[in-house]
Amino acid sequence: MRYKFPICYSFLPSSPFPSICKPCLRHQLFQSNRKCISTLTKSRQTPLPPGTTITCDSNQTYRIEKLLTHGGKSGLHVYRANTTTNNKQYIIKTNIPGDFQHQLNIQNQLSSCSNIRTFVNSVRETEVFIYPFLSGDLLRFSQRRMISHETRKRILRDALSGLVEMHERDMVHNDIKPNNILIDYTDPTTTNNNRQPSIKSIQISDLEDTVIVPPGKWLRGPLCGNALWRSAESWARSRQNQASDVFSFALVMVYVMANEMVLRVPDEQLNAEDSWRYVLRLHLSYFADIEGVERFLEHIGEQNPFFERILELINTFGLENPRQPVEHWDFLEPELKDLVARMTYLDPRGRITAREALEPFGLGD
């Protein structure tokens, strides 16, 4: 996702009914610099044309080859580029205005992590980051039928290792989904269908929404992530932390191993004003039991509008329209089914951690 304004979040105590907190420092800094940021945003709304050269803070020069994503009025454009000294390819991304230093701090802490994509260069003046170019993403790559079970498992293990690195630094990614997991690979040189692509690296990318949430604290307020991969607590704009990433990653696992996008709903429902109604009903069908619902309602609190919405959705299930819990999914292997169930428990406080998901019982064997 992309925030039109910097995330205004509060660190909250573990109490089910926390008090209202003051606006965060990042929001205050944004308000004081609004005029400068507005000017920067306006100046870069028009994408740079191919052939434009950019000189970074290290004096390395890059030449833009192609506009990959038009950021519209936000100016958050994405380009493919190469250096003027060789043909090695890179990705150039304009940053959220006013968020450059935050991103710099986050990514510098992760620069040694091989399973996380961080910048290799930057332009502070225009708030631009340059990243290595990777040849594919998991959304498209996993659609290849030729990819073996072992290769898929290795991809998930490496990506989950990157998430563990983030969580052990108290970071929450906030936008885990298949197209934010990048793969650098080369295809087999023969037509032999038994040969596998040569995978060079797997990296979690797109850290724009990443924030630090210390142990025992929570993030509340933003609607994080993509609707098809988002946790129930994020839908409710309730207390979120690293457990919300774990939920999203479990859905990625199901997609990669079974080619099932389990929260997918028809476009007319996904685009509806009350899209939450259709997606959260699937959450309750797959991942909820009586205890989980009770704990989740306690977690979000009675004042949250989703408290009554969840109760309303629960009443739509019955003998003629039963739930379809993950434990009954016949398209997953038993061990993976159990692992997904433990990663998607409705109440985030009851989920296992990313580190626990890497243990031999799960993806670490």
CB 188 within 8 A of CB 197: yes
Output the pLDDT for position 229.
98
The torsion defined by the Cα of 204, 209, 214 and 215, in degrees rounded to 10, comes to -60
| Residue 9: band (very low, low, confident or very high) from pLDDT cuts 50, 70, 90 | very low
pLDDT at 98 over 70: yes
**Domains defined for the chain, CATH in brackets:** 43-132 (3.30.200.20), 136-361 (1.10.510.10)
pLDDT at 204 over 70: yes
Interval 245-256: pLDDT, tens: 999 999 999 999
Average confidence (pLDDT) over 227-246: 98
Output the pLDDT for position 363.
52
Interval 287-304: pLDDT, tens: 999 999 999 999 999 999
Average confidence (pLDDT) over 107-119: 98
pLDDT at 87 over 70: yes
| Residue 209: band (very low, low, confident or very high) from pLDDT cuts 50, 70, 90 | very high
pLDDT at 241 over 90: yes
> Considering the chain, what percentage of its residues have pLDDT values greater than 70?
85
Computed over every residue of the chain, the mean pLDDT equals 87
Interval 298-342: pLDDT, tens: 999 999 999 999 999 999 999 999 999 999 999 999 999 999 999
Output the pLDDT for position 318.
92
Q: What angle do CA 109, 113, 201 make, to 5 degrees?
A: 145
117-144 residues labelled b (16+ CB within 10 A) or e (exposed): bbbebbbeeebbbbbbbbebbbbebbee
| Residue 12: band (very low, low, confident or very high) from pLDDT cuts 50, 70, 90 | very low
Q: What angle do CA 213, 216, 222 make, to 5 degrees?
A: 45
CA atoms within 13 A on the CB side of 74: 18
Q: How far is CA 146 from CA 31, 129, 140, in A?
A: 51, 35, 13
pLDDT at 235 over 70: yes
